[in-house]
Amino acid sequence: MHFSLKLIGEGKTYKEVQKIIGCSAKMISNALKWRAKPETRGRKQKTTIKMDRRITRMAKAQPMISSRMIKDSLELPVSTVTVRRRLCEANLFTRIPRKVPLLKKRHVQKRLQFAKEHINWPKEKWRNILRSSPRPLPPIPPGGTPRRSQASREI
């Protein structure tokens, strides 16, 4: 807060403040009128805060929904790129789910049998098992495969 504003707040008159600071009365009145305004640069957003909340709510409720489907279902007057931008601003980034092989009945039985055999293990040993994976996942090819489903996920 400006020094002159403090003095005025304490009940001093313009004349008294003028003498203390050594400035004009106009400068004091300008200081009182002045308020810090938020910096506004660039183009105004096409979406309102309410629209942004609706976009993020829908993406969180249905993570596999596309930006085009969000735009169409909410009937938004913006492009799909804008919808994706609002999702990124809400920390919901597009991720492609990794394809992993499905567990067969035999795999489930072996895992269950292992867990039953080692039920009395201390937590430290279980932590080592839970962190390791039975086999590495295949690498994702460069460029990926076309037409994969995408999910909006928080990071």
Q: Quick one: the chain helix, strand, coil %, rounded to 5?
A: 50, 5, 45
pLDDT at 148: 57
**Helices (runs of H) and strands (runs of E) counted in the chain:** 8, 2
The full 3-state SS of 80-141, as one line of letters, equals HHHHHHHHHHCCEEEECCCCCCCCCHHHHHHHHHHHHHCCCCCHHHHHHHHHCCCCCCCCCC
pLDDT band at 135; cut points 50, 70, 90: low
pLDDT, tens digit, 9 for 90 and up, residues 30-60: 877 776 677 778 888 999 999 999 999 999 9
**Angle 87-88-90 from CA coordinates, rounded to 5°:** 65
**Hey, what are 143's tokens?**
């460029």
More confident call, 16 vs 129? 16
More confident call, 14 vs 76? 76
Residue 98: C-alpha distances to residues 11, 126, 140, 144, 154 (Å):
68, 25, 8, 11, 16
Instruction: Name the pTM for this structure.
Output: 0.48
pLDDT, tens digit, 9 for 90 and up, residues 99-112: 888 888 998 899 88
The residue with tokens 């489903």 is 149
pLDDT at 92: 92
Total count of residues recorded for the chain:
155
pLDDT band at 145; cut points 50, 70, 90: low
Average pLDDT, the chain: 81
CB contact at 8 A, 65 and 130: no
In single-letter form, the type of residue at position 121 comes to W
Range from 36-50, 56-70, 141-155 carrying the lowest mean pLDDT: 141-155
